[in-house]
Chains A and B, each alone.
Chain A
Amino acid sequence: MQIRQLLAGKGWYDLTLSGIAMPGPYVSPWSRLIDAPYVAITWVLSHLMPIEQAVKLAFNLWPPVLMLVFAWFSAGCMKKLMPAGQRPALLHVLVAALAMSYASLEFVPGRIDHHNVQLVTLAAASYGVLCWSVAGGVLMAVALALSVTIGLETLPLITVLWAGLGLAWIGKRPGADDIFRAFSASIAIAAPLATLVFAGPAVMFGVHNDIFSAPYLAAFTGFGLISALAATLLPANAAMATRFAALAIPGLLLLAGIVATMPGVLAGPYAIIDPLSRSLWLEHVDQEHTVLLLIRSGQISATFNLALQVTISLCAGGLALRSLRAGQAGPAVVLAMGVAAFMANLDAFRFIRFPAAILPLFIPQMLGHIASRPPQAQKRLVSIFGAIVLGSACVFQAIASLMPVQRELNAVDAADFLMNDTCSAADRKAMKALPLGRYMVTPAVGLAILEQQVPGVDVADISYHRASPGMRLMFEALYSADPAARKEGLSPFDYVAFCTYPEAAKARFTPPGGSLFEALLKDAANPALIPQPVAGSRHLKLYRIDHDRL
């Protein structure tokens, strides 16, 4: 929607999505960085074909192009990790590519998502680390500045990478001076520049918990400058304690200054979500829970992936340690970032694609190492490899089975059904003829209406965290049995639009007694909801709200 509205003439810095009234405006958290390539491709193609066809083609073209860039940097990383003069064996690369499946699925044509660009930035940053040069430092800084401009979810990984570089510099690893200085100075410039270009001054100077804005920008730019100055001014023979103090003391002062001047940032990225939307929506979103829930629900591929990633971490850890002792810190830094991604995945499997993109980069190096050993040692290493995979798979399976859970992955209740989309193709077509006004809808119906792009038709919500104010009203209006809450929820709106459920679906849950959701499912008469005809609809029901009779 954001891309289509930009194509239709919306301003570059105007991230308000037209068609949503919660009743306040909905401002998208996604910067123009994701939109820009689609818009550029569409513009070029629009000279050759109708605009709608050009948009569809752009949606299908861009993800595979990103995949090629991702494959390019990943292949470069695999090569850099190999001993000098050796290339990764193609069979080993094939094994690595299979282990990267969770990441590569982000590049499926037609998938409009920020994760594919995030994967490209992480692969580019990893390649920059492994180059261990000034150019590598600049590449890393640009990639990570773009990454945070897209979203904050890579922040834990970037923190680990930055800490790794800092430790390499404090520990006087060979070449660390140059790469640390280049990276720090570059990110101090690239971060504000990327924010200004792709998000605009309002984001740059505002405090927004869920996007890269003033507090985060101050931290990146400030710490970039502190690091660059320390790496430039301190003599090469400065003691490790001096180097540590040169980063830690001003760094802590900077953080204290940010917290003191912008304390709102401490509330976290989901501060906008009210308790009602949190309990009935966010806590039901699968990807916000541990990846162990996937194992618990019987997904063998998740068990295998986790076990393989543990094995890679341990085996590649051994090789990275040897490199580190020999003076080369790059592999250890990339591996640390991969392990951080693995840990983040244990917390919430929205991160599942990140360890799958980083850790398999070490597979060709590991398998090459095994293949270079005498046959007897090869057998021993393969046995150890297999034992770690099997052992960790059993451990994960046991933890997943025994751990206490508040909610099973495949558990569904009335709130989940409320969020479900039951509108048919005929209903979507019929939505184009909806009368002008503000609509109380479920998020799925809201998105379906929004996609029809009918001017003057505004929906209450869609299922994104920034739409929580609208979602709260929706839960109060449709899910609550309290008449006062219902009245408050419906008060800003003119109509209720609702897609009815098939009988088989209705039999699977019980809506809250006395709620509007229950009444709509039963098609019960309500004096405050006056049915309106919708030509050509199948499941779609439309009611005008009589506020005096609520």
Chain B
Amino acid sequence: MVANEKSGSDLAGSDRAARGVALGPFFVLAILFLAIAAYDLSDGILFLGA
């Protein structure tokens, strides 16, 4: 059973362990989004050196 498959009574606001902040994914997303923005602002020069 995949963990998303929970019985009904568990569902509303349940899974306390999963309530924590997803800090790792957040930082990966934020850093990559910033990198994409920097790439766009520099017309590609920043990463490609073109």
Contact = CB atoms under 8 A, between A and B. Distances in A.
A76 interface: yes
B48 interface: no
Contacts of A179: 12
A100 B21 CA distance: 21
Contacts of A82: 3, 18
Contacts of B50: none
Contacts of B2: 83, 319, 322-323, 326, 369
B49 interface: no
A88 B25 contact: yes
Interface in A67-126: 67-68, 70-72, 74-76, 78-88, 90, 93-94, 96-98, 100-101, 104-105, 107-110
A84 B15 contact: yes
B37 to A, nearest CB: 4
Contacts of B23: 75
A64 interface: yes
B37 A107 contact: yes
Contact of A67 (B3, B25, B37): B37
Contacts of A100: 29, 33
Interface stretch (A11-19, A127-135, A217-225, A528-536): A127-135
B8 A327 contact: yes
B5 A327 contact: yes
B41 to A, nearest CB: 6
B40 A87 contact: no
Interface in A49-75: 64, 67-68, 70-72, 74-75
Contacts of B12: 132-134, 175, 178-179
A93 B29 contact: yes
A369 B3 CA distance: 11
Interface in A272-316: none
B45 interface: no
A75 B6 contact: no
B24 A327 contact: no
B29 A86 contact: no
A85 B3 contact: yes
A70 B18 CA distance: 19
A70 B26 CA distance: 9
B4 A90 contact: no
B37 A322 contact: no
Given A87-B22, A134-B13, A174 B32 contact: no
Given A108-B41, A109-B37, A134-B13, A79 B8 contact: no
A71 B7 contact: no
A88 B22 CA distance: 9
A90 B24 contact: yes
A523 B36 CA distance: 45
A64 B4 contact: no
Given A67-B37, A90-B24, A93-B25, A174 B8 contact: yes
B6 A72 contact: no
Contacts of B11: 132-133, 174-175, 327-328
A164 interface: no
A83 B37 contact: no
A327 B37 CA distance: 40
A141 B50 CA distance: 46
Given A109-B37, A133-B12, A327 B6 contact: yes
Which 10 A-B pairs rank lowest in CB-CB distance, beginning with the nearest? A174-B8, A326-B5, A83-B3, A84-B3, A133-B13, A75-B25, A175-B11, A79-B22, A75-B26, A97-B32
Given A110-B41, A133-B13, 13 more contacts: A64-B37, A67-B30, A83-B2, A94-B28, A97-B32, A100-B33, A105-B36, A131-B13, A179-B12, A326-B1, A326-B2, A326-B4, A364-B25
16 contacts: A67-B37, A78-B22, A78-B25, A84-B17, A86-B3, A90-B28, A93-B29, A97-B33, A104-B36, A108-B40, A110-B41, A134-B12, A174-B7, A175-B8, A326-B5, A327-B7
